């Protein structure tokens, strides 16, 4: 008995051969008909139906390509815009920072110049003058014990063409800030002196309650010759009275002001002093950390 699978295999083989032969015949037939021009009308008709579809497809592909390219352009523009915005912001920051750096450089050069001209070691800082209340005149500075500042240290500043002059003394101190008692405060007491050739006239300068910027010099030696226009500097004598006094660390020869008038209070000679600097106009100061380098 024959195997049915083998019969089906031979039958399938003959069917495939017949299909191949028919396709070859049709291909040859279409080639001959096309060669003779018989199929030209049919081909033109098919082309006329297909061409619009192909054109629409090509147009759609073109639009999609343009849209994709446009999207890429938008992303690139957005990226470039963000980069320009960041660069602009950086430039603005540099423009703002340049004046700050110039000011810091100017203050540092001024500090070095003062240290070169005087036997002082300085600490520079900003200062904020406090509201005047009941004659009290104080200020806050942005340095403290962490920066080497202690109670009793002299605070100096410069304003326009003035010499580096005393404006106050450290009164209270914290880790990173300190309170300054200004020389114009009525409770301020600083030993001062005036040079006349080989003669030195000493006294004590204090603030005036009713006169904002003026100082009052008392305890002047009776035979001391003081005249209007004399320069007044610190005497550095307070430290001799005892190291516990608040202004015991004020060194000698810090400029204070100019004698504006000389008079008498009873039998005592007194003088009115115009400070070189009004403490309430300064915004940057130096603390004299040491007067012996």
Tokens 């309650």, residue located? 209
Percentage of residues in the chain with pLDDT exceeding 70? 65
Enter the pTM of the model.
0.64
Q: So what's the pLDDT on residue 7?
A: 45
pLDDT in tens, 175-216: 999 999 999 888 888 999 999 878 889 999 988 876 567 899
| 278: its two tokens | 């009004």
Q: How confident is the model at residue 257 (pLDDT cuts 50, 70, 90)?
A: very high
**Mean predicted lDDT score pLDDT of the chain:** 78
Tokens 């001799």, residue located? 240
Q: How confident is the model at residue 128 (pLDDT cuts 50, 70, 90)?
A: confident
Distances (CA, A) of 80 to 69, 72, 88: 16, 12, 12
Domains of the chain: 121-290 (2.40.10.350)
pLDDT in tens, 16-69: 777 667 677 766 666 665 666 665 665 666 556 555 555 556 666 566 666 656
How many angstroms separate the first and last alpha carbons of the chain? 127
Strand ranges (DSSP E) for the chain?
121-129, 138-141, 154-157, 165-173, 178-182, 189-196, 199-207, 215-218, 231-234, 255-265, 268-275, 284-290
Does pLDDT of 118 surpass 80?
yes
């Amino acid at each position: 008995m024959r195997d049915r699978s083998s019969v089906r295999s031979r039958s399938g083989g003959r069917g495939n051969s017949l299909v191949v032969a028919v396709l070859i015949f049709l291909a040859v037939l279409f080639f001959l008909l096309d060669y003779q021009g018989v199929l030209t009308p049919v081909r033109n008709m098919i082309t006329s139906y297909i061409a619009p579809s192909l054109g629409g497809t090509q147009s759609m592909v073109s639009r999609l390509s343009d849209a994709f390219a446009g999207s890429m352009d938008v992303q690139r523009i957005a990226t470039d815009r963000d980069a320009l915005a960041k660069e602009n912001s950086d430039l603005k920051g540099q423009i703002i920072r340049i004046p700050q750096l110039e000011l810091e450089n100017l203050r540092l050069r001024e500090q070095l110049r003062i240290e070169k001209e005087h036997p002082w070691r300085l600490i520079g800082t900003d200062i904020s003058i406090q509201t005047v209340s009941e004659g009290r005149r104080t200020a806050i500075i942005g340095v403290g014990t962490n920066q080497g500042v202690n109670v009793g240290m002299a605070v100096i500043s410069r304003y326009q063409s003035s010499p580096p002059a005393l404006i106050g003394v450290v009164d209270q101190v914290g880790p990173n800030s300190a309170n300054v008692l200004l020389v114009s405060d009525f409770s301020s007491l600083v030993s001062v002196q005036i040079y006349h050739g080989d003669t030195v006239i000493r006294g004590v300068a204090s603030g005036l309650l009713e006169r904002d910027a003026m100082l009052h010099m008392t305890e002047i030696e009776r035979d001391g010759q003081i005249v209007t226009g004399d320069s007044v500097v610190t005497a550095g004598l307070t430290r001799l009275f005892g190291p516990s006094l608040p202004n015991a660390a004020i060194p000698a020869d810090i400029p204070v002001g100019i004698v504006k008038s000389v008079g008498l209070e009873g039998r005592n000679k007194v003088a009115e002093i115009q400070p070189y600097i009004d403490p309430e106009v300064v915004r940057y100061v130096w603390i004299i950390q040491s007067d012996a380098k």
